[in-house]
């Protein structure tokens, strides 16, 4: 009978013993964190669509480390650093998630696919109700995206890293992923994880911000729903195709994002039901699932031990907080500009986490006044926020790439 | 480092200004589209009325 080395048999444990103490501790912490994400995702505290696959991926990749050779340790999940063609061809045949990473993740395709899905579930008509008011709110709600940039530079990040983490203020996951992939590939994993983690917490955190900044009597203001114009499909499609062409003309570097979003919008309005079903269900949920799974798998101990991660955590929450405050200020601006007839709570919906922030706004208004319906206006601000975030991402990528 | 920070501060109004400008241009496209469609509809109605 051959000699059986127990540590060789159970290589996950053997690599834990053989690695440096900091790496071993980080691996154990990440396994625990992955399990916690799954638990919180199942419970609904964090976004289950992202957090369940991310948590499973995170726990699995940090547990499943093995000896690749006598001196190197690694996994058979993914090798994000493989860029040399020969090496890439080799890992494509070994690492089981490498094809998805190489062909959809590292080129930003997955962000575009998610954006296409978001386009198809977005009713652009809401934005056409009061376009200038919605845009004022959306621009104000980018306060965090803009102000976090110099704050991040002051904290020691370079321009590209600063712009990528500042995009968390736009509260749009695919946008953060796209910007960080374009500007700083080294930090795109922690930045995107920070973004999705905080975006999941928007639903829990923003109500407190609304209650803190807007007095009860203003939160209950009723919006006039009789003035909402009927927007025809032709108008929506015309708007989508014209805006898409103009934005692609202005910012070719972000053209894939604009095209994906507006293509989704046009497909929805053209009522091609089979394609709508495909984009809305298969493509959107499939892309979101693999986005979560790959982010989890990319979350290895070495990534998280980067000293910049703590800075990113601080900057991420700063960006979202500033954007929330900016949105509420935008709400107040429109409130005063319309002779105090506009509910300032709508301002929070300018933060473009579709449709979470619009839902948060409506929930807070309902808590004060059961007859106050603001959702059409909130969705208008929300969709304007998506467009404004995409414009801002395009400006950052164009200027800093 | 200080210059680096000052550079980011100088970039701030450019980034925010261009974002606001393009965003309002998008809102302008919507308004223009509505105006064009309502003009066409009004014109159509006027034509129909005059025909009647």
Coil, strand or helix at A83: coil
Picking from A166-180, A261-275, B33-47, which range would have the lowest pLDDT averaged per residue?
A: B33-47
**Mean pLDDT to the nearest integer, A177-192:** 88
* Same domain for A313 and A239: yes
The structural domain count of chain A equals 2
Interface ipTM: 0.85
Is residue B49 over pLDDT 50? no
Is residue A227 over pLDDT 80? no
Q: How confident is the model at residue B51 (pLDDT cuts 50, 70, 90)?
A: very low
pLDDT at position A39 = 95
Q: Are the Cβ atoms of A139 and B23 closer than 8 angstroms? A: yes
**Mean pLDDT to the nearest integer, A190-198:** 86
- Whether the upstream peptide bond of residue A5 has omega within 30° of 0, thus cis, is no
Give percent of chain A above pLDDT 90: 63
Which residues is A66 bridged to in the sheet?
A74
* Same domain for A282 and A222: yes
pLDDT at position A77 = 92
Give the residue from B2, B6, B8 with the most A CB atoms within 10 Å of its CB, the best one to mutate. Answer: B8
A132 vs B contacts (CB less than 8 Å): 24, 27, 31
- Identify whether A52 is part of a domain: yes
- Identify whether A63 is part of a domain: yes
Is residue A72 over pLDDT 90? no
Q: Are the Cβ atoms of B26 and A387 closer than 8 angstroms? A: yes
Residue A108 DSSP one-character state: S
Is residue B44 over pLDDT 60? no
From the number of C-beta atoms within 10 Å of its C-beta (0-12, 13-18, 19+), residue A310 rates as: exposed
pLDDT at position B52 = 34
| pLDDT: which is higher, B2 or A103 | A103
- Identify whether A157 is part of a domain: yes
**Closest approach of B48 to chain A, Cα-based (Å):** 21
- Identify whether A95 is part of a domain: no
- Identify whether A96 is part of a domain: no
B7 vs A contacts (CB less than 8 Å): 153, 159
State pTM to two decimals: 0.88
Picking from A132-141, A256-265, A346-355, which range would have the lowest pLDDT averaged per residue?
A: A346-355
Is residue A229 over pLDDT 80? no
DSSP state letters, A3-33: ---HHHHSHHHHHHHHS-HHHHHHHHHHHHH
pLDDT at position A352 = 84
* Same domain for A57 and A11: yes
- Identify whether A59 is part of a domain: yes
Work out the end-to-end distance of chain A between its first and last CA atoms, rounded to an integer number of angstroms: 61
Give the residue from A146, A163, A232, A398 with the most B CB atoms within 10 Å of its CB, the best one to mutate. Answer: A146
Q: In sequence order, which residues have a C-beta less than 8 Å from that of residue A207 and are 6 or more positions away?
A: A360, A363, A364
* Same domain for A115 and A70: no
**Closest approach of A299 to chain B, Cα-based (Å):** 30
Residues A25 and A304: their CA atoms lie apart, in Å, by 11
Q: What are phi and psi of A341, to 5 degrees?
A: -110, 5
Rounded to the nearest integer, the mean pLDDT of chain A is 90
* Same domain for A138 and A59: no
* Same domain for A363 and A232: yes
> Residues A75-128: pLDDT tens digits?
999 988 787 889 899 889 989 999 999 999 888 899 999 999 999 998 888 888
* Domain range summary for chain B, segments of one domain joined by +: 13-42
Residue span of the structural domain in which A236 resides:
107-400
Q: What is the CA radius of gyration of chain B?
A: 22
DSSP state letters, A248-297: HHH-GGGHHHHHHHHHHHHHHHTT-HHHHHIIIIIIHHHHHHHHHHHHHH
Is residue A172 over pLDDT 70? yes
Q: How far is CA A381 from the centre of its chain?
A: 18
Coil, strand or helix at A74: strand
- Identify whether A187 is part of a domain: yes
B3 vs A contacts (CB less than 8 Å): none
Inter-residue contact A357 to A137 (CB < 8 Å): no
A140 vs B contacts (CB less than 8 Å): none
Q: Are the Cβ atoms of A134 and B27 closer than 8 angstroms? A: yes
**Closest approach of A252 to chain B, Cα-based (Å):** 14
- Identify whether A377 is part of a domain: yes
């Amino acid at each position: 009978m051959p000699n059986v080395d127990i540590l060789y048999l159970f290589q996950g444990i053997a690599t834990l013993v053989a690695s440096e103490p900091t790496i071993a501790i980080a691996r154990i912490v990440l396994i625990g964190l992955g399990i916690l994400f799954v638990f919180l995702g199942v419970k609904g505290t964090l976004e289950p669509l992202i957090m369940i696959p991310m948590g499973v991926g995170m726990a699995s990749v940090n547990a499943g480390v093995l000896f690749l050779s006598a001196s190197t340790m690694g996994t058979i999940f993914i090798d994000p650093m493989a860029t040399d063609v020969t090496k890439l061809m080799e890992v494509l045949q070994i690492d089981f998630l490498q094809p998805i990473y190489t062909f959809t993740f590292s080129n930003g395709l997955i962000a575009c696919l998610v954006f296409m899905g978001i386009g198809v579930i977005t009713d652009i008509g809401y934005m056409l109700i009061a376009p200038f008011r919605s845009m004022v709110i959306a621009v104000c709600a980018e306060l965090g995206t803009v102000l976090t940039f110099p704050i991040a530079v002051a904290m020691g990040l370079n321009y590209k890293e600063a712009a990528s983490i500042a995009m968390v203020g736009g509260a749009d996951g695919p946008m953060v992923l796209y910007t960080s992939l374009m500007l700083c590939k080294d930090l795109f994993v922690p930045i995107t994880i920070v973004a999705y983690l905080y975006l999941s917490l928007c639903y829990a955190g923003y109500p407190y911000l609304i209650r803190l900044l807007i007095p009860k009597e203003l939160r209950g203001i009723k919006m006039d729903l009789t003035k909402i114009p009927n927007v025809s499909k032709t108008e929506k499609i015309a708007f989508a195709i014209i805006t898409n062409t103009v934005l692609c003309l202005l910012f070719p570097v972000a053209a894939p994002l604009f095209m994906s979003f507006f293509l989704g919008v046009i497909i929805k309005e053209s009522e091609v039901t089979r394609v709508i079903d495909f984009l809305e269900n298969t493509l959107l949920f499939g892309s979101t699932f693999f986005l979560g799974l790959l982010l989890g798998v990319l979350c290895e101990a070495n990534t998280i031990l980067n000293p910049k991660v703590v800075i990113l955590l601080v900057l991420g929450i700063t960006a979202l907080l500033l954007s929330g405050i900016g949105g509420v200020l935008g709400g107040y601006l429109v409130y005063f500009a319309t002779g105090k007839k506009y509910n300032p709570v709508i301002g929070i919906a300018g933060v473009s986490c579709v449709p979470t922030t619009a839902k948060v706004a409506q929930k807070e208004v309902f808590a004060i006044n059961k007859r106050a319906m603001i959702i059409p206006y909130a969705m208008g601000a929300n969709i304007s926020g998506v467009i404004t975030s995409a414009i801002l991402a395009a400006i950052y990528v164009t200027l800093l790439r | 480092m200080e210059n680096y920070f000052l550079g980011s501060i100088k970039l701030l109004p450019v980034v925010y200004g261009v974002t606001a400008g393009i965003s309002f241009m998008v809102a302008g496209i919507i308004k223009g589209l509505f105006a064009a469609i309502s003009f066409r509809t009004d014109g159509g109605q006027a034509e129909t009325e005059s025909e009647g």
